[in-house]
Structure 1
Amino acid sequence: MSDARRGGRLPLVILGGFLGAGKSTWLRHQLHEGRFARHLLLVNEAAETPVDNLLLGGAAEVTVLAGGCACCEGRAQLAAALRTICERTSGAEAGAIEGILLETSGLADPGAIAALVAADPVLARRLVVAETLVLVDALHGPSQLATEPLARAQIEAAGRLVVTKPAAAEPEATARLAATLRLLAPGAEISAAEMGEQVPLPAMEADPLPLPSLTRTAPIRPHRLQVGAEGGWIALSTWLSALLQARGEDVVRVKGVVRTPAGRLLLQSVRRVVQPPEILPEGADLPGPAPEEGTLVLIGRNIDEDRLARSWAIYGA
């Protein structure tokens, strides 16, 4: 990165990975360890309700790009934000930051973002893609590679791959996943991390997973569900568990902030796995926009928002 600075261009780190890969958790640990302390963080959320920025309290500065994936609907917004940062950090403010780290949405193709920077005459002159880092969920990664073209494209674009949540998968399954990643991205460095902390990959020989030909599927889209700003936590948790059991293949990701007797809870799930809710401190200076309490973001395919709202209205009444 220092070489890039001496060349007069600001380094850009692209952090990618499929929905639920653990990008914010991984980045949160890096910030806690002092890495990227002088990087400006850009957090891209496909949904209009930002949530991931709430995990990045250790960042020096966070800018949220919400309401569109940075490699497609949000391309213009991303390009404008990057140009603004370049202007801000030139002249008297040159050296104020060491670089930019872009945490992409789980629906983004890092290769398309790198191509956007290279094709823009201003950004190509002012930025250099220093690293493309992609996270892969040890538990859900194998099924994603078997069914999702985007998951493969993300890995193929990576210069460094991190297998996350290895404790949730069998060692042999993780070893096979790692072998598959080496096949898809032969030049990438591969490591593993649990809650952001580096851990060893399984030390065993394993065959790559089969990679079947992929067929066209319905697009994955974000959806909002109003569940109420106060109360109803028991009903909500029961309803959500039932929904994920019934529609876990379609509802890829759920995240949101809800009010409970214990305080504000950050609620997240990946497929049918609900992560332990995290209490957000009251009155804390959280990076980016304030959380929108009582709104869940459900990201998936074949989701009917009206039907979802009617289901919750009946259950949560």
Structure 2
Amino acid sequence: MIPVTILTGFLGSGKTTLLNRILSENHGQKLAVIVNEIGQIGIDNQLIMNVEEEIMEMTNGCLCCTVREDLLVALKQLLDVKAEGKMDFDGLVIETTGLANPGPIIQTFFLDPVIQSAYQINGVVTVVDSYHIHKHFEKGLEAKEQIAFADVVLVNKLDLVGESEKENLLQELQGINPTAKLIEATNCDVDIQSLLQIQTFKTKDTLQIYPHTEHNHLEGVKSFVLREERPLDLQKLNEWMSAVVQELGEYLYRYKGILSIDGVDKRIVFQGVHTLFAASYDREWQEGEERVSEVVFIGKDINKEWFQEHFEECVK
């Protein structure tokens, strides 16, 4: 399956700089990039090697095309040129607009069977402008939501802030999203390959960062981890989560974790966005490994006590 990375961040955060690096540098990755408007990126014509069905092939082997009206059309168009052998790519990066909540884009990959069988969400990278981020926070929830959705937060423009400001900001960001990996940068000068090796499904380690603490550093956005050492009943869990997303789905930005299900020898990887969630079998539980279910929830004004109480009711 083709890994998909969703790139988000407010205007001026450095997102365009990062996209230009992906499309121009020899980083060893053959990536397709879907952008909202090619003109905004300012691609050098000398870097365009070939054009096929409005998809541009760059000299470094990467591809670039626009969303135009429908993301699904762009995704299937890329699959077509790959299947026909006209162009090739090993991964996909999708740019969102500055104010866009990445939730609907993530949901696209849950809804269409063709897309679901060909692509797999690798993760969300949010680029943050360290110097202006608090102004974005003051304007509303959008900036906090983008951080809440992230698997990786690229903390950019750190050359413009002092050491104490940087440390406070890193704590704030980790408070909004305790499972996100924070990467410090100036002018988006990061290793592209390591940035995109997110593997959001490798959840076990990330949940250990803040296993028992509820975070509410910024008004409106809360995150917490639920933990249960007893095996869960799959039917009870599915019925509960279905009821949760029906009632609270619009307030749930991201939720993901590892589940220990009664009678199942494999770990179950679980993740969702708003009203859509999915689960899949992972590796087998290892001998001597603690079989524990851990799920992180990140959302708007969500109540940990309520979630914990009902989560415990899903025990076999």
Q: Return the TM-score normalized by structure 2.
A: 0.52
User: Could you tell me which amino acid in structure 2 is paired with residue 99 of structure 1?
Assistant: G
List per-residue Cα deviations over 1:221-270 (Å, max 9, x = no partner): xxxxxxxxxxxxxxxxxxxxxxxxxxxxxxxxxxxxxxxxxxxxxxxxxx
Where does residue 75 of structure 2 map in the other structure?
Answer: 82
Find out whether 1:52 has 2:41 as its counterpart. Answer: yes
Q: Are the aligned partners of 2:81 and 2:87 in contact in 1 as well (CA < 8 Å)?
A: no
Residues 20 and 189 of structure 1: is their aligned pair in 2 closer, same or farther, counting only changes over 3 Å? Answer: same
CA, structure 1 residues 134+37, in 2 after alignment: closer, same or farther (shift >3 Å)?
A: same
Deviation at 1:62, TM superposition (A): 1.5
Q: What secondary structure sits across from 2:43 in the alignment? A: helix
CA distances 1:158-215 after superposition (whole Å, capped 9, x unpaired):
111111111112222222111111111111110111112149xxxxxxxx9952459x
Contact 2:33–2:93, Cα closer than 8 Å, also in 1: yes
For residue 32 of structure 2, give the secondary structure of its aligned residue in structure 1.
strand
| Structure 1 counterpart of 2:153 | 161
**Residue 64 of structure 1: aligned partner:** 66
Cα deviation digits, residues 32-84 of structure 1 (max 9, x gap): 55336411111114xxx831243795663211235xxxxxxx5xx11111111
Q: Secondary structure at the match of 2:99?
A: coil
Structure 2 counterpart of 1:211, from 204, 208, 218: 218
Local SS of the residue matching 2:39: coil
Instruction: Please say if residues 36 and 66 of structure 2, whose CA atoms lie closer than 8 Å, have aligned partners that are also in contact.
Output: yes
Inter-partner Cα distance in structure 2 for 1:154 and 1:55: 29
One-letter amino acid of the counterpart of residue 77, structure 2 = T
Give how far 1:18 is off: 1.5
Distance 2:32 2:133 in 1: 29
Q: Can you list the C-alpha shifts for 1:270-299, whole angstroms capped at 9, x where unaligned?
A: xxxxxxxxxxxxxxxxxxxxxxxxxxxxxx
1:20 maps to which residue? 12
3-state SS, counterpart of residue 35 of structure 1: coil
What SS class does the counterpart of residue 7 from structure 2 fall into? strand
Aligned length, in residue pairs: 185
Question: What is the TM-score of this pair, normalised by structure 1?
Answer: 0.52
Letter in 2 for 1:128: Q
Alignment pair present for 1:114 and 2:114: no
8 A Cα contact 1:177 1:209, kept in partner: no
CA shift in 2, pair 1:196/1:31, >3 Å: farther
Partner of 1:151, secondary structure, is helix
Q: Identity across aligned pairs (percent)?
A: 25
Which residue type is aligned with residue 118 of structure 1? F
- The answer to whether the 8 Å contact 2:81/2:88 transfers is no
- Taking structure 1 as reference, are residues 212 and 186 closer, same or farther at Cα in structure 2, changes over 3 Å only? closer
Q: Which amino acid aligns with 1:81?
A: A
Residue identity matched to 1:85: L
Residue equivalent to 2:197: none
CA pair 94-126 structure 1, distance change in 2 beyond 3 A: farther
Distance of 2:26 and 2:34 partners within structure 1: 17
Residue 140 (structure 1) aligns with: 132
Match of 1:282 in 2: none
Q: Is the 8 A contact 2:153 2:181 kept in 1?
A: yes
Partner residue in 1 for 2:120: 128
Structure 2 gaps, min length 5: 48-57, 192-214, 222-316
Provide the residue aligned with 2:181 in structure 1. Answer: 189
Cross-structure match for 1:281: none
Structure 1 unaligned runs (5+)? 1-8, 67-73, 200-207, 215-317
Verify the 8 A CA contact 2:130 2:156 in the aligned structure 1: yes
Answer yes or no: is the 8 Å Cα contact 1:111–1:154 preserved in 2: no
